[in-house]
Amino acid sequence: MPEPKAKKATFIQPMLLLPTATLPEGRTWSYELKLDGYRALAVKTAGKIRLRSRNDKNFNLRYPGVVRGLANMPDETVVDGEVVALDESGRPSFNMLQNFGSATAPVFYYVFDLLVLAGRAVMEEPLSVRRKLLECDVLPYLTEPVRHSPVLDAALSDLIESVRTHGLEGLVAKRLDSRYEPGQRSGAWQKMRVNRQQAFVVGGYTPGPHGFDALIFGYYDECDLIYAGRTRSGFPPHFGSAKWPVHQ
* Catalytic (active-site) positions: 34
Beta-bridge partners for 43: 50, 78
Cβ(185)–Cβ(209) below 8 Å: no
Cβ(173)–Cβ(112) below 8 Å: no
Cβ(172)–Cβ(191) below 8 Å: yes
Which of 95, 13, 94 shows the shortest CA–CA distance to 52?
A: 13
The 3-state secondary structure of 17-58, one letter per residue: CEECCCCCCCCCEEEEEECCCEEEEEEEECCEEEEEECCCCE
CA atoms within 13 A on the CB side of 164: 8
d(CA 226, CA 222): 10
Task: Classify strands 18-19 and 189-193 as parallel, antiparallel or unpaired.
Answer: parallel
d(CA 200, CA 193): 17
